[in-house]
């Protein structure tokens, strides 16, 4: 749903993993709220689609292809953003990877691949963007974690859970150390979200267990008190709230958006 006000006019937001899912929904929602959006993704095709939709909304935008597991790539995307717009007001630290696997089937390669983006990438994006926010004494950093980091038993795998737990802990410490610079740091912990990644996991489970897609999806939401999965826009709405002036005194928190899946 299009927003009728533009409270984030004159704000510049970086959204990582903006090519699809939560990242794309967040980029569009921030643009609807008036922000200039720097969309970042490793996939050029989906990134171009998001950039096109942002421009249709009339938003100022910049699309940057970058590998969020690479510190030099992170430095480059921030440098390009500063060269284009001269400021960064909001970071949505969303890029992440996973795969469906039992704990005993996970490998060192899985650990390195998942933590490279989900933990290392989130930290160094936060650090590099904070470097630009500190002199301006203003900024909102919004990390996309997961209820997986809080013990959700239906997690895709244990390594992913560990990486999201790291994001939640990072959020707390970063909020304490950056608060003196008037930088708010919060995280959003989605539950089940209908993204391409979710659909891939559902498909794999369907094939493995010989069940229909509909049966797997019905089982997935059976334990959700509200009885429904999230759409990416549900997460984006929380992201926008945390970027708005109204949340100026909210920091160090990890907000579940999960239909009541994990009481917290």
Q: What is the 3-state secondary structure (H, E, C) of 18-47?
A: CCCHHHHHHHHHHHHCCCEEEEEECCHHHH
Predicted TM-score (pTM) of this structure: 0.94
Residue 1 has a pLDDT of: 41
- Per-residue pLDDT averaged across 234-248, rounded? 98
Residue 5 has a pLDDT of: 67
Residue 14 has a pLDDT of: 99
Round to whole Å and give the CA distance between 2 and 129.
28
Answer whether 55's CB lies under 8 Å from 227's CB: no
Closest CA to 82 of 33, 24, 14: 14
Residue 217 has a pLDDT of: 87
8-state DSSP, 224: -
Round to whole Å and give the CA distance between 229 and 45.
27
8-state DSSP, 252: S
Domains and CATH numbers, the chain: 12-193+231-256 (3.40.50.720), 194-229 (no CATH)
Round to whole Å and give the CA distance between 194 and 46.
17
Instruction: Report how far apart, in Å, the C-alpha atoms of 103 and of each of 86, 91, 167, 208 are.
Output: 45, 32, 20, 17
Round to whole Å and give the CA distance between 151 and 158.
10
| Catalytic hit among 160, 193, 195, 254 | 160
* Tens digits of residue pLDDT in 10-66: 999 999 999 999 999 999 999 999 999 999 999 999 999 999 999 999 999 999 999
Number of Cβ within a 10 Å radius of residue 10:
10
Residue labelled with tokens 């069940």: 211
Q: Is 198 a catalytic residue?
A: no
Residue 2 has a pLDDT of: 46
Higher pLDDT residue, 205 or 110?
110
Residue 111: CA count within 13 A, CB half-sphere:
7
């Amino acid at each position: 749903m299009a927003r009728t006000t533009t409270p984030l006019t004159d704000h510049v937001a970086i959204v990582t993993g903006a090519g699809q899912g939560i990242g794309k929904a967040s980029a569009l929602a921030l643009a609807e709220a008036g922000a200039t959006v720097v969309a970042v993704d490793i996939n050029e095709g989906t990134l171009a689609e998001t950039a096109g939709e942002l421009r249709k909304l009339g938003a100022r935008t910049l699309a940057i292809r970058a590998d969020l597991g690479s510190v030099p790539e992170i430095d480059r995307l921030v440098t390009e953003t500063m060269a284009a717009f001269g400021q960064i007001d909001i970071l949505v630290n969303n890029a992440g990877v996973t795969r469906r696997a039992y704990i005993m089937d996970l490998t060192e390669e899985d650990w390195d691949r998942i933590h490279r983006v989900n933990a290392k990438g989130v930290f160094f994006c936060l650090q590099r963007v904070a470097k630009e926010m500190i002199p301006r004494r203003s900024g909102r950093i919004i990390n996309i974690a997961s209820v997986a980091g809080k013990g959700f038993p239906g997690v895709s795998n244990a390594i992913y859970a560990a990486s999201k737990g790291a994001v939640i802990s990072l959020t707390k410490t970063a909020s304490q150390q950056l608060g003196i610079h008037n930088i708010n740091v919060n995280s959003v912990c989605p539950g089940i979200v209908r993204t391409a990644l979710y659909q891939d996991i559902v498909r794999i489970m369907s094939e493995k267990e010989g069940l229909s897609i509909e049966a797997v999806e019905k089982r997935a939401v059976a334990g959700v008190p509200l009885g429904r999965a999230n759409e990416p826009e549900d997460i984006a709405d929380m992201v926008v709230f945390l970027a708005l002036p109204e949340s100026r005194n909210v920091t160090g928190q990890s907000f579940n958006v999960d239909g009541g899946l994990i009481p917290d």
